[in-house]
Amino acid sequence: MRVILDDLGLDEGAHILVKRSLARVAVGEVVIIEGSAPELAVHLRGWCRAQGHEFLSEGASLRVRRGGAQVGRWRASEQAGQADQVVEHPAATWGLAGRSATIEAGAPAFDFPLHDRDELWADEASRLYAQAAAAQWDPATAIPWDAPFEHADEVEDAVVQIMTYLIENETAALVIPARFASQVHPHFREVMQLLAIQTADEARHIEVFTRRALLRRKQLGLSTVGAQASLKTLVDEPDFAMASFLLSVLGEGSFLSLLWFLHEHAPDAVTKEVARLAAQDEARHVAFGLAHLSRHIEKQPALKDSLAMAVHRRHDALSHTAGLNEEVFDALLLLAAGSWQPADMRLGWQRIQKLEREMDEGRQKRLRRLGFDDSHAAELSALHTRNFM
């Protein structure tokens, strides 16, 4: 094979033409290179040495024999798995390379603490990510911010207090997946992407809850010590499986019931739509938590004991707190009642009792899905924080 370079120098792009020609011949075959660039022979000799080819002669026609290495710089390399298959323990030297990329020898080792397939993988991860990406909504246009509504100041104050409570809970739900997303080995890209989009979901929730709270008020409501203490136990949890279990399976699962409760009893169209859209997002977060923990438990059955201990440990840590603060409870009661009539107040209180029963039933159902028997599921659900999240 012959390559005509004219006066094009190797430092001007001629190496692309040489590389292309070498790629078309078998190992050991010779390519003849013709060109008039002044330093062509000198540059070609060095290039061949770097690429693993043999420079044979100088003169008007230069000859290069293709070496046994892959054309390019990857003379000693490894493959980062297959595009459609995840491995159990991806190498630290695969680093930030995409799955199935060819990695040049000598790449640095990265420290990604979450690098074990059994502890974070879920076969549903790709589907859930695609679903989440397709379901993203714009806070500016998805919610009828200009919808007219009129209700008493006490009702608006109740909405503001509930939004204040939701904001701090969703902030914790943002911080936790954001921290773990940076620890996931990029080989498990679907999990990393899912945690990232979960973080984006929570950021959007914080935005709309804040915007609703400040729609007719200049500041948020009360944040209590008990609520902050409850969320701190989640933020401080260092283990991915434990944090996912406490946050997604128990906490966000309970929050799903709360958001649908708000949707049902919202006093205005804005609050109703804010709650509905947030609930749709939270359902995906719960689904991923259940999916990867179910797989993890299947591979390591002893994990169930650790999860149960995490519930007990959190319950003990929060035993001195009062649970759901009075301001939030009263605000929920007012919205559920819909008026100040004694009979309606009683009905509102009954609706909240029903909400708490539904939360408990939901937690037990999810616990049973993870393999806990009925009695153990009931026990662990009863120990869940009274602050809902």
What is residue 186's predicted lDDT score, i.e. its pLDDT? Answer: 96
For residue 320, how many other CB atoms are within 10 A of its CB?
8
Mean pLDDT along residues 188-217: 97
- Annotate 225-278 with DSSP letters as a single string: HHHHHHHHHHHT---HHHHHIIIIIIIIHHHHHHHHHHHHH-SSHHHHHHHHHH
Mean pLDDT for the stretch of residues 320-341: 92
Task: Decide if 207 contacts 117 (C-beta within 8 A).
Answer: no
- Is 90 exceeded by the pLDDT of residue 277? yes
70, pLDDT greater than 70? no
Q: How far apart are CA 157 and CA 152, in angstroms?
A: 9
Residue 304 predicted with pLDDT over 90: yes
Any idea which of 243-257, 314-328, 330-344 has the lowest mean pLDDT?
314-328
Q: What is the structure's pLDDT at 59?
A: 67
Residue 35, strand partner residues: 6
- pLDDT value of residue 75: 47
Spatial distance between the Cα atoms of 123 and 376, rounded to a whole number of angstroms: 27
Task: Check pLDDT > 80 for residue 259.
Answer: yes
**Res. 152 pLDDT band, cuts 50 70 90:** very high
pLDDT recorded at residue 190? 96
Q: Mean pLDDT across the stretch 131-143?
A: 96
Whether pLDDT at 174 is above 70: yes
> pLDDT at position 132, please?
95
Residues 6+ positions from 82 with CB-CB distance below 8 Å:
99, 100
73 has a pLDDT exceeding 60? no
Q: What is the pTM of this model?
A: 0.86
Percentage of the residues of the chain whose pLDDT score is greater than 90: 87
CB-based contact 22:44 (threshold 8 Å): no
Mean pLDDT of 261-266: 98
CA distance 273 to 329: 21
For residue 52, pLDDT over 60 is answered with: yes
Query: What is the rounded distance in angstroms from the CA atom of residue 26 to the CA atom of residue 4?
Result: 20
Rounded CA separation 49/80 (Å): 27
Whole-number pLDDT of residue 386: 85
The average pLDDT across 246-272 equals 97
pLDDT exceeds cutoff 60 at 284: yes
| pLDDT value of residue 153 | 96
Q: Tell me what pLDDT residue 262 has.
A: 98
Confidence of residue 74 (pLDDT cuts 50, 70, 90): very low
**For the chain, what's the residue count?**
389
- Structural domains of the chain, ranges and CATH numbers in brackets: 2-65 (3.30.110.40), 117-383 (1.10.620.20)
Kindly state the percentage of the chain with pLDDT values over 70. Answer: 97
Q: Which segments within 117-162 are labelled E, that is strand?
A: none
Is residue 56 classed as helix, strand or coil in its secondary structure? strand
pLDDT at 303 over 60: yes
Distance CA 115, CA 103 (A): 18
By the 8 A CB rule, do 1 and 25 touch?
yes
**pLDDT tier at 77, thresholds 50, 70, 90:** low
Record the tokens describing residue 377, joined without a space: 């599921």
- Would the pLDDT of 322 be above 90? no
- When the pLDDT of each residue in the chain is averaged and rounded to a whole number, the result is 93
d(CA 291, CA 127): 12
Contact 304, 372 (CB under 8 A): yes
Q: How far apart are CA 330 and CA 333, in angstroms?
A: 5
What is the rounded CA–CA span in Å between residue 147 and residue 45?
Answer: 74
198: pLDDT strictly greater than 70: yes
DSSP 107: P
Residue 104's pLDDT band (cuts 50, 70, 90): confident
Quick one: pLDDT band at residue 323, thresholds 50, 70, 90? confident
Q: Is the pLDDT of residue 68 over 90?
A: no
Q: Taking 50 as the threshold, does the pLDDT of residue 72 lie above it?
A: no
Q: Please report the pLDDT score of residue 306 as a whole number.
A: 97
